[in-house]
Amino acid sequence: FRCCSGTRLGWGAMMIDDLRTFLAAGGVDTRAQFVVRFFGVTSFTSTTFGLVAGNFGVMLFTSGPLIPFFAGSIAGYVFGVVPF
């Protein structure tokens, strides 16, 4: 995938670039754009990592899904915060 400047992007970066373009076209100020992107990216990565880790916890460990979900959610939040 390529963004408007021609650089090659992954799916997540393309999603953020499209969201940024959509918000800028709607006249949303820069601070609100940052807040929307921050909450969107961190909640998406946290939930995704948590669900994957919870499924692995059910299949591979005897601890059940709750503890691996918490650990995966924290890891997903950290990975979501790093680009900011």
pLDDT, one tens digit per residue, over 42-66 is 888 899 999 999 888 888 877 788 8
**In the structure encoding, which two tokens stand for residue 12, read together?**
């997540």
CB atoms within 10 A of CB 49: 21
**In the structure encoding, which two tokens stand for residue 22, read together?**
């959509």
Distance of CA 27 to the CA centre of its chain: 24
Angstrom distance (rounded) from CA 64 to CA 42 = 24
Predicted TM-score (pTM) of this structure: 0.64
Which of 1-5, 39-43, 50-54 is most confident?
50-54
